[in-house]
Amino acid sequence: MLIKLSRSALLTEQNCEREFYYKYLFDGTGIEAEGNDVTPAIGVAVHKGLESILNGVTLEYAIANALAKFEQLKPRQLDWEFDFIGYTLPECRFLIECLVRIGAMRAIPEILSQWSVVEAVEKKHIVPIPETSLGWVSIADGELNKNGLTSALSWKTTERWIDRKLEVPLIDMQGVSEPWAISQATGKPCHSVVMCWFLTGETREERGLGRRVKDSPLVRPWFNGKDWQWRYQWEEEGKVRRVGKDYKRTAVWEYMSAEEWIEALTKLPVLDPLRFQYVGPLEYTRPPWNEEAFVRQLTGKAQQLEALSVTIDYAREHGILQEVVDENFAQSTRGCPWCPYYSCCWRGMIDPVGSGEFKRRVR
């Protein structure tokens, strides 16, 4: 039986109705894969480190918290992946430490220069969805205040940056749902969301080696055996310059610590490489009509899903579950090979939890 909805749940349903069924309705509670993919695990770990810094702990303690969170999430190896323990995991840990250090050195001081911190910890708000028995779950990374006005804080990680992402908070669900939930839960108006993005680099398979790497200058800059370059090409005196042919992408973490690498980057004479690894902080305020439209849309979708969850419970009890699932939860086949529920949809897995690949979701 469905009892709560969240931004993640609605985005899952928009992406693939069948994935939503497995994740939130299967066998009454929903199921999720054991362990986590490294990319979202990196994001959660970085969030933990930044949260720790805002709470006033030392940088080294914040880094330790971030790395402990990464291990707690149990990053999992893909079927085709080689050298996961010896290469992929150390690279991820190095990247997490670099991003937490950049947050402490640059992003957080910028935030503190403009806002005071009301809540420095990730806080879950559960508020009733109008005209339903469901709750809406919203988790903000913190709460800020400027001139008596409250803002939700949101740390973001993204594999690459395009300027179009600057417009996303003006139209996406998070830009309106988090301020609305805080306002509903506290009784005090929350008028905006403050976002700061950290770049993790795109994930790709290293040619010929069968291992995943992060395409980030923080972990894989260019090296010729003597000198390091953090970017492949740049503009200088009106001309495009590139590194020499003797430079190769190299795992810098095999040569020095994250602290040493960040310090080296801060000493470059021209550009500030660290400023290219995050975007923000930026504040976004949505108009009142936008919030009203969100609440109406949320209410309508929640009513539909609440009714469907009752139908699923009935179908399970009367032996017509598969027919009802097929009729109400279409498979979006665009991303099936990469979906964690692939084996459930296409390999006939009858007992996902018993297989050891999945666990029941905790409500």
Tell me whether residue 269 is in a domain: no
Report, as an integer, the average pLDDT of 125-136: 94
Query: What share of the chain has pLDDT > 90, as a percent?
Result: 58
Report, as an integer, the average pLDDT of 150-159: 94
Contact 294, 177 (CB under 8 A): yes
Tell me whether residue 259 is in a domain: no
Tell me whether residue 283 is in a domain: no
> Under the phi-then-psi rule, with left for phi > 0, alpha for psi from -120 to 50, and beta for the rest, what region is 83?
left
Report, as an integer, the average pLDDT of 207-236: 85
Please report the pLDDT score of residue 80 as a whole number.
60
Tell me whether residue 284 is in a domain: no
Contacts of 67 (CB under 8 A, 6+ apart): 45, 93, 96, 97
Q: How many domains does the chain have?
A: 1
Residue 85 above 90 pLDDT?
no
Tell me whether residue 358 is in a domain: no
Phi and psi at residue 348, to the nearest 5°: 65, 30
Please report the pLDDT score of residue 142 as a whole number.
92
Token couple for 235: 């503009």
Q: Give me the half-sphere count of Cα atoms (radius 13 Å) on the Cβ side of residue 157.
A: 23
User: 239-253, 256-270, 316-330, 349-363: which range is least confident on average?
Assistant: 349-363
Tell me whether residue 326 is in a domain: yes
Helix (H, G, I), strand (E, B) or coil at 143: strand
User: 36-40, 99-103, 135-139, 310-314: which range is least confident on average?
Assistant: 36-40
Report, as an integer, the average pLDDT of 131-153: 93
Handedness of CA 153, 159, 160, 164 (dihedral sign): negative
**Residue 76, number of CB atoms within 10 A of its CB:** 16
Question: CA 245 to CA 38: how far, in whole Å?
Answer: 32
Report, as an integer, the average pLDDT of 174-187: 93
Question: CA 176 to CA 167: how far, in whole Å?
Answer: 13
Q: pLDDT tens-digit profile of 236-255?
A: 778 888 888 999 999 999 99
Question: CA 301 to CA 22: how far, in whole Å?
Answer: 18
Contact 233, 265 (CB under 8 A): no
Tell me whether residue 216 is in a domain: no
Question: CA 166 to CA 156: how far, in whole Å?
Answer: 12
Residue 2 above 90 pLDDT?
no
Please report the pLDDT score of residue 237 as a whole number.
77
Contact 149, 191 (CB under 8 A): yes
Q: How confident is the model at residue 208 (pLDDT cuts 50, 70, 90)?
A: low
Residue in the structure block whose two tokens are 């309106």:
176
User: 80-94, 139-153, 203-217: which range is least confident on average?
Assistant: 203-217
Average pLDDT, the chain: 89
Residue 79 above 70 pLDDT?
no
Question: CA 240 to CA 294: how far, in whole Å?
Answer: 46
Give me the domain span that covers residue 325: 1-30+291-345
Query: What share of the chain has pLDDT > 70, as a percent?
Result: 97
Question: Which comes out higher in pLDDT, residue 272 or 201?
Answer: 201
Global pTM value = 0.88
Helix (H, G, I), strand (E, B) or coil at 124: strand
Name residue 5's beta-bridge partners: 136
Tell me whether residue 311 is in a domain: yes
